[in-house]
Structure 1
């Protein structure tokens, strides 16, 4: 249980071992970089992500009210949008970086639970979308096709699975000293090493393997004769494929740093200011990925694109009508006529 005693751990920026000039310069440089990245994220990525989320939700709700139904892919994208929006809202905990928010360990565990729930939900909903697109190209004759025709059941299974994983992660944060104040990240520094291992395995390793397997099957397997060409299939569902690649790249960087932090914990080392800097960069990259994914849905998903084009055309038509309104000519007054 010695590995579970995390009372020794702290951030390098909060426990400088010496006051050498090199260490102070490294500390100042890392703090400046973190601060600038945080301001860039808050100023550009957060507004873009939240505006995109509001537009996506409005478009999906309006389409549902008009058609009284929702496409299976749209249902999964709606769930993906809500999960990513939750992550963006939770990312406001980085607003005071390079410092960290100070809360009790219990409050930090609750924030971590909410973050992990949205993290796992978005990851596995993306896997479901890829599976659904794969089955559209290679229609199965088994009961699997019936399951994929019930997206709400699939979303319910994803939510239940994400909830169980989040509860497990909350337990692995640690069960002692809940009343004590601590510096908090959404992936708590004081969590047991098993926390990062479980998160890497179930939050990145398994989903990434399934995503890569889906891409390999899509590219390597010969489609039925009646199926559309591969280029047409990818172009039709471009948003999902681009989001999959973007998510994989951003989360790969983040999960590598998660494993690096686990290694430091097992070595009983708090690391260096550079390690802390890279971990903070990885965290901001992860949050930025949520914003970028929502913008990609808005710009690449066909129902969203069609609605945007419709709104733009309506605005242009209204502007054109107003600019061509004729100004009525007033008849001359009697005085002018008498002259």
Structure 2
């Protein structure tokens, strides 16, 4: 592992060597690093090693999520070509797959860490905006599914939620609106041409950015989702209809898995977003800690999107049946070969040929 992490630290070691051995104004003396310089250097090396390990670990999740997302899209395209009927949940899960796959593609900005992804402040704000659209969308489409579970007895809600395009359009509209609000808080307008180390959540954003994003992108949708689930449980419990509750929940197992994974991973992400230390001018230690927390939080959130894609493939009936059919097609030649061998072993076809000498002796 150490040999893999060394290339990330080469530039830093070179800069530190040049700093500690640079000639002074009289060209005959060198700068001796202080104890604080050494501690900052050691902290930087440890932070970069931690980030490197996290990136290597996330690469497994990223590859699994990317392949699973492509596989799910292929299943949808195949079913669409066969003109199969899609249920409301199927259409919503398709939009969720696209959103989570988009987030996985955004994780490519963190694959090169701890190297710097340098761009302008305005470019980083634009990147943050396009990242936040699928981020908010996944949260609020979960809310739409939970409301469809809890309010299926209300005629107006049932009519609106029976049309998946209405739910998708509403969640997308809220996502774009909230992304614009959050992008306006990045602080890029003060100096749009300034070169920055870009993250999907800009490091130079003020505290208001994290607070607003936490409120709009985690607290509000989580409270709405929990309220809907609680209302659903209370309604079926009061009616003592446990069988009806099971029948209603069973098709939504994929959604329950998605909601659980998303909540756990984004809780960690938002806590790290809120706890980022403020880095003042020249405060290298705080900047290092801020960069480390930002990268780890983003990787946890991206890993959650990968696990959501895997959950859809595992728990959704259409995807599971397609996976079993694909596996059956792959293993069918092997099963046919094994069947033929067993048939030959059970019914051997032995042919005895007489030799010419034996035939002459008999004559």
Q: TM-score range by the shorter chain?
A: 0.7 to 0.9
Query: Which residue does the alignment assign to 1:146?
Result: 159
Residues 205-224 of structure 1, C-alpha deviations (whole Å, 9 max, x = no match):
11011111122223333355
Question: Which secondary structure does the structure 1 equivalent of 2:191 belong to?
Answer: coil
Q: Secondary structure at the match of 1:19?
A: helix
The aligned length equals 319
The residue matched to 1:228 in structure 2 has which SS?
A: helix
Choose from 102, 121, 125 the match for 2:118.
102
Match of 1:63 among 70, 75, 79: 79
Deviations 1:207-246 (A, max 9, x none): 0111111222233333557773434544432211121111
Report SS of the residue matched to 2:190: coil
Q: Is 1:53 matched up with 2:69? A: yes
Partner of 1:238: 253
State which drifts further: 169-178 or 52-61. 169-178
- What are the superposed Cα offsets for residues 147-173 of structure 1, whole Å, 9 maximum, x if unpaired? 001101211121121112112222222
Offset of 1:126 from its aligned partner? Answer: 1.6
Matched, 1:156 2:172: no
Q: For the Cα contact (< 8 Å) 2:122–2:189, is it kept in 1?
A: no
Q: Distance in 2 between matches of 1:27 and 1:231?
A: 53
Query: Could you say which residue in structure 1 is the equivalent of 2:25?
Result: none
Shift of 1:53: 0.4
Change (3 A) 1:99 1:119: same
The 1:291–1:132 alpha-carbon spacing in structure 2 relative to 1, beyond 3 Å, is same
The answer on whether the counterparts of 1:172 and 1:195 sit within 8 Å (CA) in structure 2 is yes
Provide the C-alpha distance between the structure 1 equivalents of 2:223 and 2:241, rounded to a whole number of angstroms: 29
Residue 321 to residue 216, structure 1, CA distance change in 2 (3 Å): same
Question: What secondary structure sits across from 2:144 in the alignment?
Answer: helix
CA contact (8 A) 1:94 1:100 kept: no
2: distance between equivalents of 1:185 and 1:18? 31
Specify every segment of 5 or more residues in structure 1 that has no aligned partner in the other structure, as ranges: 1-13
Q: Which has the larger radius of gyration?
A: 2
In structure 1, the partner of 2:275 is 260
TM-score of the aligned structures, taking structure 2 as reference length? 0.78
Work out which of the residue numbers 182, 191, 214 in structure 2 matches 1:169: 182
Give how far 1:80 is off.
0.7
Deviations 1:180-208 (A, max 9, x none): 22110011112233322221111111101
Corresponding residue for residue 73 of structure 1: 89
Does 2:208 match 1:188?
Answer: no
The residue aligned with 1:280 is: 295
Verify the 8 A CA contact 1:193 1:265 in the aligned structure 2.
Answer: no
Whether contact under 8 Å (1:132, 1:148) holds in the other structure is yes
**Separation of aligned partners in 1, 2:35 and 2:105:** 37
- Structure 1 residues 22 and 128, CA gap change in structure 2 (3 angstroms): same
Separation (CA, whole Å) in 2 of partners of 1:278 and 1:102? 18
Whether the 8 Å contact between 2:146 and 2:225 is mirrored in structure 1 is yes
CA contact (8 A) 2:203 2:291 kept: no
Matched with 1:219 is 233
Please give the root-mean-square deviation of Cα atoms over the aligned residues, in Å: 3.1
- Contact 2:207–2:274 at 8 Å: present in 1 too? no
Matched-pair contact (CA < 8 Å) for 2:261–2:304: yes
Please, which of 266, 282, 290 is the counterpart of residue 305 of structure 2? Answer: 290
Q: Is 1:26 paired with 2:43?
A: yes
Equivalent-residue separation in structure 1 for 2:108 and 2:313 (angstroms): 23
- CA 90–33 in structure 1, closer or farther in 2 if over 3 Å, else same: same
- 1:102–1:116 distance in 2 versus 1, CA, 3 Å: same
Residues 231-278 of structure 1 show CA distances to partners (whole Å, capped at 9, x for unaligned) of 4544432211121111111111111122223x7379x97736445433
Q: Which runs of 5+ in 2 are unaligned?
A: 1-14, 17-32, 358-363
Match of 1:182, SS?
strand
Runs in 1 of length 4+ with deviation above 6 angstroms?
14-18, 326-333
- Partners of 2:74 and 2:175 lie apart in 1 by 26
1:4 corresponds in structure 2 to none
Counterpart check, 1:314 vs 2:329? yes
